[in-house]
Amino acid sequence: MFSGLGLGSAALLGWGFNSFNILGRENYYLQGNFAPVKEIITEDRLEVVGNIPKDLSGLYLRNGPNPMSKPNIKKYHWFGGEGMLHGVRLDGGKAVWYRNRPVGGNNANTHVISHAKKIYAIVEAGGSPVEIDQELNSLTEEPFYGTLKTGFTAHTKLDPKSQELHGITYNFPRGTYEAHHVVVGKDGRINRADLLPLSSGTMLHECAITENYALVFDLSITFSFLKLGTGYFPFSWNNDHQARIGLLNRKTNDGVIKWFSIDPCYFFHTVNAYEDERGNVIVDAMKYQKLFDEDWNGPFTEFPPHLTRWSLNLSTGNASEQQLDDLPAEFPRMHPDLNGKVNRYGYSLGVGSGQKPDFGRIIKFHTRRKSKK
Ligand SMILES: [Fe+2]
């Protein structure tokens, strides 16, 4: 099973080998910070450097691809590694324990979320979310009290008002591509799963929500039978596919998608989307000019991702595009209570300007004016 974009594991152990892919590039996604963590650790004697605020208590979790079995170096794609969870329990100023555990079952390797007092490791393209307990053990592949009947997604978006979790999901049941708009209710059960009129085989990594819309990102990466058949990661750059952003009306739920054509591109991650004072829909995301075209192992070696804004004009049906910053950056976050509302700040990791991925800095964006700190 292939799977979605994770950040790769915070490597505790390194494999000191050089590896090369089909075009003679090094496969960076088995090296350094991406190298597999082979040890399963439970450690309760943690040294704290500095101070942890006493009121910062809880479980810090992350998930990412971690190839435990010996990968084919030429064909290994970053999104294909088995899921590995890492967790640190914080309580009263102490780091109580660290542990890591493989995700059980179908390889939910991309993200880990908490919703309605449950924890789930999640992935796109058809793998079921795996419920996780507070000690990182995998419990079940029947998530949301058994109510999920579709694929899921790498990243959900929480409506801060209704506490509903939105996902644009896809899977390949019986070989046919099916995409849905899935909503998980405040009670932790699936509220709705609406089939979308979409058959392009697009890689739908995440979605965005605004006050009135759920956004569908039908971009320039589509399913490739050729790559699947030859054992490679089965999604590929597709210049012939019209990239477009779709708006699903969350209020009417009429199943109609209003599409806005944009230039060929891909983005995995949005900072946010919202409706501005004129009613236009604004989308800020980390845009790749091209990827998965020459490099079949991962996203970072062809073009660096940049914070870019699309403005969708509902009156004219046209979209405009503007790069907001020239620092390569990925994995954007902002305060989740602002999902779908106007945000001022966003945060991301700097990717580095070289081909080899380098997450050496944290960037704070001020997205209401064109500057950063
Ligand atoms: Fe992601």
Residues 166-182: pLDDT tens digits? 999 999 866 789 999 99
pLDDT band per the 50, 70, 90 thresholds, residue 26: confident
Q: How far is the CA of 174 from the centre of ligand 1 (A)?
A: 26
161 to 137, 191, 211, 212: CA distances (angstroms) = 31, 16, 10, 13
Q: Residue 207: helix, strand or coil by DSSP?
A: coil
Residues 237-294: pLDDT tens digits? 999 999 999 999 999 999 899 999 999 999 999 999 999 999 999 999 999 999 999 9
Q: How far is the CA of 268 from the centre of ligand 1 (A)?
A: 6
Q: How far is the CA of 62 from the centre of ligand 1 (A)?
A: 12
Q: How far is the CA of 155 from the centre of ligand 1 (A)?
A: 6
Q: How far is the CA of 154 from the centre of ligand 1 (A)?
A: 6
Cβ-proximal residues to 15 (8 Å cutoff; 6+ apart), any chain: 30, 31, 35, 36
CA quadruple 257, 278, 275, 345: dihedral, nearest 10: 150
Q: How far is the CA of 277 from the centre of ligand 1 (A)?
A: 30
Percent of the chain past pLDDT 90, that is, above it, reads: 83
Q: How far is the CA of 45 from the centre of ligand 1 (A)?
A: 32
Q: How far is the CA of 369 from the centre of ligand 1 (A)?
A: 26
Which bin fits 126, alpha (ψ -120 to 50), beta or left (φ > 0)?
A: left
Q: How far is the CA of 368 from the centre of ligand 1 (A)?
A: 24
CA-based nearest residue to 110, from 43, 155, 143: 155
What are the φ/ψ torsions at residue 288 (nearest 5 degrees)?
-105, 130
Q: How far is the CA of 316 from the centre of ligand 1 (A)?
A: 32
Whole-model pTM over 0.95: no
Q: How far is the CA of 83 from the centre of ligand 1 (A)?
A: 13
Q: How far is the CA of 347 from the centre of ligand 1 (A)?
A: 15
Q: How far is the CA of 95 from the centre of ligand 1 (A)?
A: 27
Residues 330-360: pLDDT tens digits? 999 999 999 999 999 999 999 987 777 888 8
Q: How far is the CA of 330 from the centre of ligand 1 (A)?
A: 9
pLDDT: is 65 or 367 the higher one? 65
Residues 103-142: pLDDT tens digits? 999 899 999 999 999 999 999 999 999 999 999 999 999 9
Give all strands of the β-sheet with 208-209 in edge-to-edge order.
208-209, 213-218, 244-249, 257-261
Q: Which CATH architecture has domain 8-372?
A: 6 Propeller (2.120)
Q: How far is the CA of 217 from the centre of ligand 1 (A)?
A: 14
Write down the pLDDT at residue 22.
52
**Bridge partners of residue 102, in order along the sequence:** 84
Q: How far is the CA of 50 from the centre of ligand 1 (A)?
A: 30
**Bridge partners of residue 63, in order along the sequence:** 85
Residue 196: count other Cβ atoms within 10 Å of its Cβ. Answer: 20
Q: How far is the CA of 6 from the centre of ligand 1 (A)?
A: 5
How remote is the C-alpha of 158 from its chain's centroid? Answer: 14
Write down the pLDDT at residue 59.
97
Q: How far is the CA of 47 from the centre of ligand 1 (A)?
A: 30
User: CA quadruple 323, 325, 328, 330: dihedral positive or negative?
Assistant: negative
